[in-house]
Amino acid sequence: MNETRTGSEEVVWRNLVRQGEAIANQAKKRWNSSTGIHPIILAWPSETITADDGKEIDGIVALSVPNHVTVRRALFDLAQRTYPIAVVVVQVVDNFLTVILESHYGTRSWKFRIERRGDVLGLGGEEVKDDEVVFGVFRHPSPT
């Protein structure tokens, strides 16, 4: 248990990690050797938010990152709209399919190496690390 988390915070963290693991497994299944995977960001808003169409959203918000926007910019823009307790970013970085969970309670990353297997690409083993990969959404609310 992280020394800085209270008992209830640890419960929230474990729940977020379970959801992050499920997202990592889903990303691994959806990854395609010829097309990769389009970057996506998921946010757990701290309160109900209003979407652009006026509908209220009280669950996870998913954003497929537009091609003309960097993942970092999209992440910070989404964080400003949702005031999240956690975010997950799924993207390919440096020959790895990465899934990064960041929250007030800590970070966890899942990395799958993209490996050449003959004439096709495949995903290698999973590497999981805590508190190593951080976008800084909860520490430095600025995209720069």
Quote the number of domains for the chain: 1
User: Is 87 within the bounds of a domain?
Assistant: yes
pTM confidence score: 0.87
Distance set, CA 71 to CA 34, 65, 77 (Å): 21, 6, 10
| Helix (H) and strand (E) counts in the chain | 2, 8
Domain housing 123: 7-130
User: Is 50 within the bounds of a domain?
Assistant: yes
User: Is 143 within the bounds of a domain?
Assistant: no
User: Is 91 within the bounds of a domain?
Assistant: yes
User: Is 99 within the bounds of a domain?
Assistant: yes
pLDDT tens digits along 84-143: 999 999 999 999 999 999 998 889 999 999 998 888 888 998 999 998 767 888 764 444
User: Is 32 within the bounds of a domain?
Assistant: yes
User: Is 144 within the bounds of a domain?
Assistant: no
User: Is 38 within the bounds of a domain?
Assistant: yes
